[in-house]
Amino acid sequence: MPAFNLETCARSNILALEPYRCARDDYKDNGTNILLDANENAYGPPLSSLPATITTPNDAAPGGPSLDLTTLHRYPDPHQAPLKQLLCNLRTTHAHTAKTLSPANLFVGVGSDEAIDALLRCFCVPGVDKILVCPPTYGMYSVSAQVNDVGLVKVPLLPAPGFGVDVEAVKAVLSGPEAGRIKLVYLCSPGNPTGKLLAKEDVRALLEHPTWNGVVVVDEAYVDFAPEEASLAEWVVEWPNLVVMQTLSKAFGLAGIRLGVAFTAPEIARLLNSLKAPYNVSSLTAGIAEYAVSEGGGLPQMRENRAKLVAQRERLVRGMTKVEGVGRLRGGEDSNFLLYEMLNKEGQPDNATALAVYERLAEAKGVVVRFRGKEHGCLGCLRITVGTEDEVTRFLAELEKTLAEVRG
């Protein structure tokens, strides 16, 4: 078993925290209650011209209430139990454990960014503790650490195209003189910008560290584009020191509602739910999310759209091999984007060439990709999001012209 001990790992003031008691904890709107307890506007919002209700099929509670737009003057459910159950249904695959996720394993927040920040506030003492990240990786980990006055330790991923965790190097740091101050290890799987799924065995090796008292956080924002049953979300029922973050922004196409999820042990989930703002997820967001992750709602369409994107990802990989000036695929094919080298006239990956291609594509061709050449191990690389069939066709044509122009 790991050395993890929640009582000594988490901040003492968070362990002692009593969660804000919401007005809806004791009495809910049952249609007959007169709710004069939370300083709400009893007349409701000025939205009489909108449809009265949006039907939201609820697999967790068949026949349950739909999202009622006439109740927007009431604060939202602070616990999101129906949504949490639907998310448990979605991620309990029994691919990694025979146990089953429950709502007690979940924290739901405003995008994954809220979970990233909440974990820092939960476990890291400002000005004292640190987190460990493995570049190239998602930039919000370091931004949030800086905001919270938390130190940053970097252990780069293994070289491309593998971009795996350097397990021995990470374990050495977690066994070294700074180990007591490192409370969180953030891993991105599939990685951003690498597009590469991390090995389950590598995650296990860090979870099993015999002396390090900390939490491993696996960010699975893009996991629905990886092979079937790749998600480790249900694994949190086996490990007290694992957090798996997900979002509805990517495969579900709901970036605009800002809905993120953290699966973890009930003890950690309780801490995260205690320190969050009392009504952090709006009724509209929760209702749309419930619909999106329901078998009777948006799940079939999500799967159809995912299949289309995977097909275009495969087409893009084939097409890039035919464009002169495109180098190697430097990451994996586990996400909805790809990381490719741009080559100079000498046939070498080059940031000047990649930057020129990036700028000319955007400014002259109206095709916007992402320059990632300054990231660790990504020399001369552009990150390309997989689009529709028409978008991929246009991108490949414009890239070929632009590379010819830039390379002369």
Report the share of the chain in percent with pLDDT over 70: 87
Q: What is the pLDDT of residue 74?
A: 84
- Torsion region of 86: left, alpha or beta (phi above 0 gives left; psi -120 to 50 gives alpha): alpha
The predicted-structure confidence for 308-363, as pLDDT tens digits, reads as follows: 989 999 999 999 999 999 999 999 999 999 999 999 999 999 999 999 999 998 88
The predicted-structure confidence for 171-211, as pLDDT tens digits, reads as follows: 999 999 999 999 999 999 999 999 999 999 999 999 999 99
**CA 75, CA 79: separation in Å to the nearest integer?**
12
- Torsion region of 44: left, alpha or beta (phi above 0 gives left; psi -120 to 50 gives alpha): left
Beta strands in 118-193 (DSSP E): 130-133, 151-154, 182-188
pLDDT band at residue 301 using 50, 70 and 90 as cut-offs: confident
Better-predicted residue by pLDDT, 68 or 238: 238
**Whole-prediction pTM value?**
0.87
Helix/strand/coil percent split, the chain, to 5: 40, 15, 50
Q: What is the pLDDT of residue 17?
A: 65
Q: What is the pLDDT of residue 22?
A: 55
Instruction: Choose among 202, 171, 186: nearest CA to 132.
Output: 186
Q: What is the pLDDT of residue 340?
A: 97
**CA 366, CA 359: separation in Å to the nearest integer?**
10
Sorted by where each starts, the structural domains of the chain and their CATH numbers stand as: 6-297 (3.40.640.10), 300-407 (3.90.1150.10)
Amino acid at 194: T
Instruction: Choose among 14, 42, 210, 240: nearest CA to 120.
Output: 14
Stretch 285-310: mean pLDDT, rounded?
A: 88
**Residues 251, 18 contacting (CB under 8 angstroms):** no
**CA 173, CA 167: separation in Å to the nearest integer?**
10
Q: Is residue 304 predicted with pLDDT exceeding 60?
A: yes
**Residues 219, 131 contacting (CB under 8 angstroms):** no
Stretch 366-374: mean pLDDT, rounded?
A: 90
The predicted-structure confidence for 8-59, as pLDDT tens digits, reads as follows: 998 887 787 665 555 455 545 555 454 544 545 344 433 344 445 555 444 4
Q: What is the pLDDT of residue 297?
A: 82
pLDDT band at residue 62 using 50, 70 and 90 as cut-offs: very low
Radius of gyration of the CA atoms of the chain, in A: 23
Q: Which DSSP state fits 245? A: E
Provide DSSP, 359-377: HHHHHHH----EE-TTSTT
Coil, strand, or helix at residue 96?
A: coil
Residues sharing a CB contact under 8 Å with residue 146, sequence separation 6 or more, in sequence order: 152
Q: What is the pLDDT of residue 36?
A: 45
**CA 147, CA 126: separation in Å to the nearest integer?**
9
By residue count, the chain amounts to 408
Q: What are the helix (H) ranges across 215-350?
A: 266-275, 283-292, 299-320
Beta strands in 24-78 (DSSP E): 53-54, 67-68
